[in-house]
């Protein structure tokens, strides 16, 4: 960065948007009120007058952080410095507004805490970091990679763990880099949503949800294990609009959330008993003859068997006893749901994080299907979709080096989200379960993971069984983290490479929820010495080829904008009704898709119908029918829940200084009854402990959580040792392997106790 740039940045950090002004502007724009799910408005009030003064270069960006909303962003740059951003008005979904996290984005590239240069730590975990040049960093890494290839006669000793820190499509260059080095070890699967993906694939043949904007057409909305007032603020406006038009909103969640506060009916369901509740509702709908007979006859298989199961094994009384919801309420809501046309269910990502999570999602799908609400506008069992992700994956699809050897015995497809192997190749990558990373690192042998590469992921904050992970992190000979901040993962790495923010790179972003596509333009030069993941791959390739010609096929020079352009194809243009990617510079485009998933009633299952009975599911070792599956047996006195926080996404955002204004430190939440039984009062310092480990923090008493629950939010705080993964183990959920390569994690089937310290 030259002197003039540095001066401009310095000015930008203080002006025009200071921390106080940020808070004032949010208040003026109604965003503070909007955060829990109030109306979203663009900056057109007091703030607008301040921030629109002057001439700006305007760029298009997209929030890439694994949020439902994947907001389209307009960025305003002056003198090479990002001044402020706003939601793009062209997207009816983003509708000119961001969440409070989004409005703090300008602090991200200019954060004083940002990793500025490649650095090496003398002694893993010692804190003795020193700056090195990119050449030195690449040289050290490349020498190690050549060494392990010479030693093992393959690159399987190189392991990659990557997830959702940046979902920009060109970030698949990380996987492309691995491929271009040979056959490597990949931590595969997803910690997020796998059990539900498999469940929807068994029932419907794919995961595909209605357009969220279509929720406005719903006459009845069940928000089941979803908290959009915090996690998808832009969808709330459609829920409110539906309510305004007379729709009833039911929220089902063990925790009384801010979404629950906006609902017409709230059910505090007993944790992991959602499947029982869905089946109890289904039984009542069946008994009353309220199911859609014509729909199930024409469009489904196995309904009669499902009906027999309900009649023989399920009663409303049983469902009530299991779920804690009174029988009369189950009956009322079941009847209303069946009668309202169309009715929809939003299946939140909390539901499938249980040992019976996949079975639960199948029971809820069945409820939507038997009432004829699948394939209808305003209807649907909404979970997510990947229908707008048909890119070229140019960054991902690199060639192996000549003569590369790999893992024998891993042939065959391992799921849609697993890029770890070529189906027909003699060799494959080695695929290990990402949700058991600690165990995999400790037990992988022949060869062991000698080098661990971490990208778009804060393993030590987000992965499970952290005490064991700390042990596992002692094992690799070299750990390389690609990061923007000194996370807990970087603290236990040997080399850290600074990576660009969304404003400093070019890419494209699609959503797994809405139907919009956004281009992400580079509007500012990379700060300090940051490089994009694509550029890092190129730099490593250059060094590898210098050391050992032909050892890496990744191009040695790339232009991130050109690589972004390479991801487009005619199908994408046709789907989004654009002639060229350049059209996206005028604003995001919406896919020309019917708002109702499965509107043609051509399902992707083997029978091409909705499958109440899935033989494929049975072949995969599960129950063919959406039957109740038992919950995990408690191993401690309280249930432990670790949901998403309002002010962050996983471990992201809370470390940004402006966000710290809202969320200065972590707390655990306890019901007053549970607290008094333990002699705990509000504000006490407590220890949350179980067989996995412990966490010490301040307690807040609240009736929003059930009396048998202790709750903490998953998050990473700057300068704070808090880590909820100290008390979360890596027990698998029931499904996920079919489509993602590995089962999910029963994140919400955890137990613990609390005591005052």
Residues in region 648-687 near ligand SF4 by CB under 6 A? 649
Token pair 């994009």 is found at 532
**Rounded least distance, CB 342 to ligand SF4, Å:** 26
Q: What is the rounded CA–CA span in Å between residue 270 and residue 52?
A: 50
Total site size for ligand SF4, rule CB under 6 A = 12
Residues in region 369-388 near ligand SF4 by CB under 6 A? none
Residues in region 96-135 near ligand SF4 by CB under 6 A? 98-99, 101-102
**Rounded least distance, CB 648 to ligand SF4, Å:** 9
Residue number, 513 or 738, with CB nearest to ligand SF4: 513
Q: What is the rounded CA–CA span in Å between residue 357 and residue 577?
A: 38
Residue number, 382 or 671, with CB nearest to ligand SF4: 382
Indicate the helix (H) or strand (E) that contains 613: none
Length of the chain: 757
Contact of 158 with 441, CB cutoff 8 Å: no
Q: What is the dihedral of CA 420, 425, 430, 436, to 10 degrees?
A: 50
**Rounded least distance, CB 105 to ligand SF4, Å:** 7
Q: Which two tokens mark 209? A: 């949800």
Residue number, 98 or 316, with CB nearest to ligand SF4: 98
Q: What is the rounded CA–CA span in Å between residue 467 and residue 472?
A: 9
**Rounded least distance, CB 71 to ligand SF4, Å:** 3
Q: What is the rounded CA–CA span in Å between residue 473 and residue 188?
A: 18
Q: What is the rounded CA–CA span in Å between residue 747 and residue 757?
A: 26
Task: List CB contacts of 628: < 8 A, sequence separation 6 or more.
Answer: 275, 276, 279, 313, 314, 356, 359, 363
Residue number, 636 or 657, with CB nearest to ligand SF4: 657
Q: What is the rounded CA–CA span in Å between residue 382 and residue 235?
A: 12
User: Both ends of the chain: CA-CA distance in Å?
Assistant: 49
Q: What is the rounded CA–CA span in Å between residue 199 and residue 739?
A: 10
Residue number, 108 or 629, with CB nearest to ligand SF4: 108
Residue number, 98 or 229, with CB nearest to ligand SF4: 98
Contact call for residue 748 and ligand SF4 (CB under 6 A): no
Residues in region 43-102 near ligand SF4 by CB under 6 A? 63, 65, 67, 69-71, 98-99, 101-102
Q: What is the rounded CA–CA span in Å between residue 582 and residue 632?
A: 51
**Rounded least distance, CB 331 to ligand SF4, Å:** 37
**Rounded least distance, CB 97 to ligand SF4, Å:** 9
**Rounded least distance, CB 93 to ligand SF4, Å:** 10
Among all residues, whose Cβ is closest to ligand SF4? 102
Residue number, 37 or 375, with CB nearest to ligand SF4: 37
Residue number, 98 or 263, with CB nearest to ligand SF4: 98
**Rounded least distance, CB 66 to ligand SF4, Å:** 9
Q: What is the Cα 626 distance to its own chain's centre?
A: 26
Indicate the helix (H) or strand (E) that contains 299: helix 293-299
Residues in region 466-485 near ligand SF4 by CB under 6 A? none
Residue number, 65 or 737, with CB nearest to ligand SF4: 65
**Rounded least distance, CB 424 to ligand SF4, Å:** 38
Indicate the helix (H) or strand (E) that contains 241: helix 233-244
Residues in region 207-236 near ligand SF4 by CB under 6 A? 233
Binding site residues, ligand SF4, CB under 6 A:
63, 65, 67, 69-71, 98-99, 101-102, 233, 649
């Amino acid at each position: 960065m030259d002197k003039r740039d540095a001066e401009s940045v310095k000015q930008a950090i203080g002006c025009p948007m200071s921390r106080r002004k940020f808070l004032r502007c949010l208040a003026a724009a109604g965003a503070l009120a909007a955060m829990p799910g109030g109306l979203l408005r663009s900056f057109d009030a007091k703030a607008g007058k301040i921030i629109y003064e002057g001439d700006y270069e305007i760029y298009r960006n997209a929030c890439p952080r694994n949020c439902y909303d994947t907001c389209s962003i307009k960025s305003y740059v002056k003198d090479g410095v990002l001044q402020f951003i706003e939601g793009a008005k062209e997207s009816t979904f983003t509708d000119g507004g961001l969440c409070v996290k989004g409005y703090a984005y300008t602090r991200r590239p200019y954060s004083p805490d940002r990793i500025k240069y490649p650095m090496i730590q003398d002694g893993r975990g010692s804190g003795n970091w020193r700056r090195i040049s990119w050449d030195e960093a690449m040289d050290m890494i490349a020498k190690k990679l050549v060494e392990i290839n010479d030693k093992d006669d393959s690159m399987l000793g190189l392991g990659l763990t990557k997830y959702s820190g940046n979902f920009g499509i060109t970030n698949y260059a990380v996987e492309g880099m691995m491929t271009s080095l040979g056959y490597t070890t990949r931590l595969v699967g997803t910690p997020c949503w796998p059990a539900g993906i498999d469940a929807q694939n068994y029932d419907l043949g794919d995961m595909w949800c209605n357009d969220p904007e279509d929720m406005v057409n719903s006459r009845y909305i069940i928000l089941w294990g979803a908290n959009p007032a915090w996690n998808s603020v832009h969808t709330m406006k459609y829920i409110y609009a539906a309510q305004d038009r007379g729709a009833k909103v039911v929220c089902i969640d063990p925790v009384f959330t801010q979404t629950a506060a906006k609902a017409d009916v709230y059910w505090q369901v007993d944790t992991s008993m959602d499947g029982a509740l869905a089946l109890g509702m289904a039984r009542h709908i069946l008994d009353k003859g309220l199911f859609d007979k014509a729909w199930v006859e024409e469009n489904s298989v196995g309904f009669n068997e499902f009906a027999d199961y309900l009649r023989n094994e399920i009663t409303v009384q049983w469902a009530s006893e299991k779920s804690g919801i009174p029988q009369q309420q189950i009956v009322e809501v079941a009847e209303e749901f069946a009668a309202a046309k169309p009715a929809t269910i939003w299946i939140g990502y909390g539901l499938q994080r249980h040992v019976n999570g996949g079975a639960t999602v199948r029971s809820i799908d069945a409820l939507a299907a038997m009432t004829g609400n699948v394939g209808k506008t305003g209807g649907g069992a909404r979970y997510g979709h990947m229908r707008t992700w048909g890119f070229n994956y140019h960054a991902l699809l690199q060639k192996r080096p000549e003569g590369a050897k790999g893992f024998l015995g891993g042939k065959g497809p391992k799921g849609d989200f697993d890029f770890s192997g070529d189906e027909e190749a003699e060799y494959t990558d080695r695929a290990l379960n990402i949700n058991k990373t600690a165990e995999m690192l400790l037990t992988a042998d022949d060869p062991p993971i000698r080098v661990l590469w971490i990208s778009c992921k804060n393993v030590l904050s987000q992965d499970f069984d952290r005490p064991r992970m700390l042990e596992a992190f002692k094992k690799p000979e070299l750990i390389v983290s690609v990061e923007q901040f000194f996370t807990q993962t970087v603290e236990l790495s040997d080399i850290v490479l600074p990576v660009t923010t969304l404003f400093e790179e070019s890419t494209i972003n699609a959503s797994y929820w809405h139907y919009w596509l956004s281009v992400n333009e580079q509007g500012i030069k990379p700060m300090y010495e940051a490089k994009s993941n694509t550029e890092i791959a190129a730099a490593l390739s250059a060094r590898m080829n210098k050391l050992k010609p032909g050892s890496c096929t990744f191009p040695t020079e790339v232009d991130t904008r050109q690589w972004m352009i390479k991801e487009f194809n005619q199908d994408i243009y046709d789907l989004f009704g654009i002639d060229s990617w350049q059209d996206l510079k005028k604003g995001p485009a919406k896919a020309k898709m019917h708002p109702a998933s499965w509107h043609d009633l051509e399902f992707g299952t083997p029978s091409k119908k909705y499958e109440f009975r899935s033989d494929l599911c049975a072949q995969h070792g599960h129950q063919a029918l959406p039957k109740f599956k038992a919950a995990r047996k408690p191993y401690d006195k309280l249930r432990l829940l670790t949901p998403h926080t309002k002010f962050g996404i996983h471990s992201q955002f809370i470390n940004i200084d402006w966000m710290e204004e809202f969320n200065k430190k972590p707390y655990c939440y306890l019901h007053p009854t549970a607290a008094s039984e333990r002699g705990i009062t509000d504000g006490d310092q407590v220890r949350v402990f179980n067989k996995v480990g412990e966490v010490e923090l301040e307690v807040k008493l609240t009736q929003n959580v059930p009396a048998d629950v202790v709750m903490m939010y998953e998050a990473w705080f700057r300068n704070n040792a808090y880590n909820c993964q100290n008390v979360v183990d890596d027990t698998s959920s029931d499904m996920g392997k079919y489509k993602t390569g590995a089962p999910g994690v029963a994140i919400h089937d955890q137990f613990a106790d609390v005591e005052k310290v």
